[in-house]
Structure 1
Amino acid sequence: MERPPCSGPVRACERWGAGGSADSYAEPVTPDPRSVRCHVVTGKGGTGKTTVAAALALALAADGHHVLLIETEGRQGIAQLFDTPPLPYEERRVAVARGGGEVKALAIDVEAAFLEYLDMFYNLKRAGYALRKMGAIDFATAIAPGLRDVLLTGKIKEAVTRREHGRPVYDAVVVDAPPTGRITRFLNVTNEVAGLARSGPIKTQSDGVMAVFRSPQTAVHLVTLLEDMPVQETADAIADLREAGLPVGSVIVNMASEPLLPAAALARAADGGLTAADLTSALSAAELPGGDQLAEGLVAEAVEHARRWTAQDALRDDVEALGRPTVELPLSVGPIDLGCLFELAERLEGHLSTEAAA
């Protein structure tokens, strides 16, 4: 990725760090949907947070906007969703949205980000390459996992605040972030580092990153399923984020299924009131083979569906009790492709419009 020339630590701090003190945002903030530019997407493993992040990027890119979609976990999930070759450490266009908007994607390579960091702050580009040949970078990030998160969050902040000709390069940055179990530590890691360094580039960078993450221009969106564990993890993550002073955005219920039976039939099936005898006459009238055996199988499936739906519907109350704006995305019956992403993006676009107007 091309970047403007760096003229020593002052220029580097402007890009990777400066932006205010982390202590300026001691209280939790509520993000204003109209001003959010950094959308962090997290969720329990298996909830589809990468899919949601990709769809959100498409929604934000509509009407001619420029959006950067950042992957932090090195799984190349974004490349798979957009059916492109593995992403290098540079920003590449992966989709065009309605109205000429575009989505670019970046898979952050920790080693490359470390070399970039050394070059920007300390003019140690050659030394950095020597460290890489020695395997020192891999060693450092392995024994100090927090260093990896510092590099990732620093790069995210740089993308959010980058400007050209007096305006932001990207209208929005969407981050496919780590799971809910470690999202607060991931976003708050530079604050911990800042406590270890009282001055210098590291302190400046840490304060600048936290100034962005704790400001109203950031929103942490949580993806969940209508299942007990994901909903509970979402509730725990919201509590942790608020305690850390990080702004919580929307709760996105992914893969929500629709009821296949009318409300009265659902309630009857869930209560065990549906029997094979109720279906036998209808099956006979339709001249379907199978008789009692088919009727019993259909009843079993209906009861299972009704009870699963009832349990999921009860969890909607728990999601609503979290007190955050909520949107549901439907369960896809086929593989997730670009067409499916655009359909999900339309749902999210409507949610974003509603939130901005509220």
Structure 2
Amino acid sequence: MTRLHVVTGKGGTGKTTVAAALALALAAEGKRTLLVEVEGRQGIAQLFETEALPYEERKIAVAPGGSGEVYALAIDAERALLDYLQMFYKLGSAGRALKKIGAIDFATTIAPGLRDVLLTGKACEAVRRKGRDGRPVYDSVVMDAPPTGRVTRFLNVNDEVAGLARIGPIHNQAQAVMRVLKSQDTAVHLVTLLEEMPVQETVDGVAELREAGLPVGGIVINMVRPRILDAEAVRAAEGHRRTDVAKALSQAGLGGARRGGHAERLVGPLLEQAREHAERLGLEREQRAELAGLGLPAYELEFLGDGGDLAGLYRLAADLRKQGVAEEGS
């Protein structure tokens, strides 16, 4: 019963887009999802074409079908610390005074682990929160987390604050966060591309998460390009005479009809592109095999040639639902 979905990935793999699409997919059929941002980049607001997110939970989208809702929250460490001070120490206006003199920046600078406790703690609180009817306020929480190279340390906050506070409210808060992060309520999903470096970082990231005892969910292979020709088709095309290929191009309306026209000049470049495409497919097969060796569920999302607008985001959400992500996360 996964309720906290942590989405990470190497920079440039589109993890924020995948996190947003996952939130939409999980919110279908009348469910409510909270999409959380922790890096302060306002990437979620840009994707949903809305104004910058404040430090409050705000409805930003309706799920496919019109019955579910997606809320979003940009967590700010400073505001989260003020909430923390109010919750445990009832400081109120005194906490705001600490902000004015810079004490909060000082605290999160000398104790970086505390910052991560505050950021992850806010997301975990949303997972645990219940309404007056005793049911969870959110059916799912999706966190757009830091990149793969930093995510294990970011999530493993208990180890980070162990030297800072072995007893007291900070220690207790870290323990409460880890109870959620290491439970069956949580799954860490890794976003990758079918390229050597992102795949290797994904493999390393899975190993680190498993070593830390953090639950790994699935692999999302993003920006998958369509398969047009394989190596066998390229060899077949090269086996024909160039004049025959040029004639076929002319009949298809490409280039001039006369011999030596534009069609013949297209043959060489087209065959070269076909060879490159076939080589890329071969490399992608190798990367898929590497990912399959992890023994995790894998989902594929198409490459959005239009740059990934809001309509494309809904299309990706529909693809994730078709592949069973929503059922596994319910």
TM-score by length of 1: 0.84
Q: 1:105 to 1:212 in 2, by over 3 A?
A: same
1:266 is displaced (CA, Å) by 4.5
1:353 is displaced (CA, Å) by 5.6
CA–CA separation in structure 1 for the residues paired with 2:280 and 2:267: 20
1:286 is displaced (CA, Å) by 4.2
Match of 2:279 among 300, 307, 312: 307
Kept after mapping to 1: 8 A contact 2:26/2:326: no
> Equivalent residues in 2 for 1:3-152 (5 A)?
35-97=1-63, 98-152=65-119
**Structure 1 residues 212-221 or 299-308, which shifts more?**
299-308
Instruction: Tell whether 2:125 aligns with 1:158.
Output: yes
Kept after mapping to 1: 8 A contact 2:189/2:219: yes
1:128 is displaced (CA, Å) by 2.0
Kept after mapping to 2: 8 A contact 1:50/1:78: yes
1:117 alignment partner AA: Y
Q: 1:328 to 1:124 in 2, by over 3 A?
A: same
- CA shift digits 1:232-266 (9 cap, x unpaired): 00000100000010000000000011111266315
Which 5+ residue runs of structure 2 have no aligned equivalent?
Answer: 257-261
Match of 2:211 among 243, 264, 271: 243
Identity of aligned residues (%): 60
The 3-state SS of whatever aligns with 1:95 is: strand
CA–CA separation in structure 2 for the residues paired with 1:54 and 1:163: 23
CA–CA separation in structure 1 for the residues paired with 2:240 and 2:120: 55
Q: CA RMSD in A?
A: 2.1
Kept after mapping to 1: 8 A contact 2:156/2:178: yes
1:273 is displaced (CA, Å) by 6.7
1:100 is displaced (CA, Å) by 1.4
Q: 1:137 to 1:278 in 2, by over 3 A?
A: farther
**Structure 1 residues 183-192 or 217-226, which shifts more?**
183-192
Instruction: Tell whether 2:290 aligns with 1:318.
Output: yes
Q: 1:154 to 1:300 in 2, by over 3 A?
A: same
1:296 is displaced (CA, Å) by 1.4
User: 2:259: which partner in 1?
Assistant: none
CA–CA separation in structure 2 for the residues paired with 1:278 and 1:74: 58
User: 1:7: which partner in 2?
Assistant: none
**Structure 1 residues 337-346 or 48-57, which shifts more?**
337-346
User: 2:192: which partner in 1?
Assistant: 224
Kept after mapping to 2: 8 A contact 1:177/1:183: yes
Kept after mapping to 1: 8 A contact 2:153/2:160: no
**Structure 1 residues 201-210 or 224-233, which shifts more?**
201-210
Q: 1:276 to 1:314 in 2, by over 3 A?
A: farther
CA–CA separation in structure 1 for the residues paired with 2:2 and 2:235: 42
The 3-state SS of whatever aligns with 1:100 is: coil
Kept after mapping to 2: 8 A contact 1:274/1:299: no
Kept after mapping to 1: 8 A contact 2:111/2:164: no
1:295 is displaced (CA, Å) by 1.4
> Equivalent residues in 2 for 1:130-279 (5 A)?
130-165=97-132, 166-194=134-162, 196-261=164-229, 264-266=232-234, 276=242, 279=245
